[in-house]
Amino acid sequence: MDFSQGNVIKYVSRYSMKGGPEDLKKAKWYLERMIDQEERNV
């Protein structure tokens, strides 16, 4: 698991107890970064 994957899991796991929508936005940012990296590797 790389840094971005770990952050997606971290923010999605804790959003309901800690950061709310802001944590989901952070997870989305890391997920979009992962998608961009995968699309460049194709």
- For the chain, the residue count is 42
- Whole-model pTM: value is 0.89
Assess contact for 33 and 3: CB atoms under 8 A.
no
pLDDT (tens, 9 = 90+) of the chain, 42 residues, equals 999 999 999 999 999 999 999 999 999 999 999 999 999 998
pLDDT at res. 42: 82
> Which sequence spans correspond to the domains of the chain?
3-41
Cα Rg of the chain (Å, integer): 11
